[in-house]
Amino acid sequence: MALARIAAPSLAALALTLSLSACGETADDTVVAESEGGMAAAPADMDILEVRHENFEGIGDAFKVIRGELENSSPDFDAIQANARIITSNAVLISDHFPEGTGPADGADTEALDTIWERPEDFSAATEQMIQASQIMLAAADSRDAAQVQAAVKELGGACKNCHDQFRLDED
Ligand code: HEC
C-alpha cells in the first residue's frame, strides 16, 4: 500500500497508518491516537499529496538532467541511464497516487484537476503513454546513441504535456 512510502509524516500519523494497515478492520479502536488541537484525522489521505509531489519532482529533475546531458558534446550516458531508470520506476507509481478524495473538489491543496477523477480512463491512458515513453527512454539510454536519446526526449516530453494539458492546473 502506497501510504507506507510516505516521505516525512509526523510520527503519530505514521504510527497510526502502520497500525491501521496492520490491523485491517479495527480502525475504529485506534483512531483516537492523540490528535493535536482537535484537527480531523484527514492527514492519512493527504500524505499521499506529498508522496505524489515527490514522485513528480523526481521525474522532473531526472528529465532535466537528461536534457542537460544532450547539450554536452559528449553526453554522460551513465547519467542518462541512471535518470532514465528513475523516470521509469517513478512512472509506474503514478497510478497509485490519485485515490478518490485527493482532488481540489475535496479541498486538497493540489495542482491536480478534478478531470482525473471525472475521466479515469483518459487519465489511465495518459499514464500508460508515460510508462511507454519512459521505456523508450530507457532503451535509448542503453543504446548510448545521442540521436536516439534525443528522439526519446521528444516522446517523453509529449507524454508529460499530454497529461498536464488535460489533468494538471496550468499555473503560468
Ligand atoms: C498521467 C499524468 C501525468 C504525466 C504523464 C506527467 N505528469 Fe507531471 N503532474 C501531473 C499532475 C496531475 C501533477 C500535479 C500533482 C499535484 O499537484 O498533486 C503533476 C505535477 C508535476 C510536477 C510538479 C510537482 C508537483 O507535484 O507539484 C512536475 C515537476 C512534473 N509534474 C513533471 C512531469 C514531467 C517532467 C513529466 C514527463 C516526463 C510528467 N510530469 C508527466 C500529471 C502528470
Range(s) of the domain holding residue 34:
1-39
Residues 113/169, Cβ–Cβ less than 8 Å: yes
Provide the angle, in degrees to the nearest 10, between the axes of the packed helices 146-167 and 43-69.
150
48 plus 35 within the same structural domain: no
24 plus 102 within the same structural domain: no
- H or E element that contains 43: helix 43-69
150 plus 111 within the same structural domain: yes
Q: For residue range 21-42, list pLDDT tens digits in order.
A: 433 334 444 433 333 343 444 4
99 plus 71 within the same structural domain: yes
Q: Is the pLDDT of residue 85 over 60?
A: yes
Which pLDDT value is given to residue 172?
Answer: 63
30 plus 49 within the same structural domain: no
CA angle (25, 26, 30) in 5-degree steps: 140
End-to-end, the C-alpha distance of the chain in Å comes to: 34
48 plus 119 within the same structural domain: yes
Q: Does the beta carbon of 163 sit less than 6 angstroms from any atom of ligand 1? A: yes
The average pLDDT across 107-119 equals 96
Q: Is the pLDDT of residue 94 over 60?
A: yes
Which pLDDT value is given to residue 73?
Answer: 95
Q: Does the beta carbon of 49 sit less than 6 angstroms from any atom of ligand 1? A: yes
Q: For residue range 122-170, list pLDDT tens digits in order.
A: 999 999 999 999 999 999 999 999 999 999 999 999 999 999 999 999 9
The average pLDDT across 85-96 equals 98
Residue 162 alpha carbon, nearest atom of ligand 1: 5
**pLDDT averaged over the chain?**
82
Residues 125/78, Cβ–Cβ less than 8 Å: no
Percentage of the chain exceeding pLDDT 70 = 73
The average pLDDT across 9-23 equals 40
Which pLDDT value is given to residue 171?
Answer: 76
Rounded distance from Cα 52 to ligand 1 centre (Å): 9
62 plus 93 within the same structural domain: yes
Q: Does the beta carbon of 111 sit less than 6 angstroms from any atom of ligand 1? A: yes
100 plus 149 within the same structural domain: yes
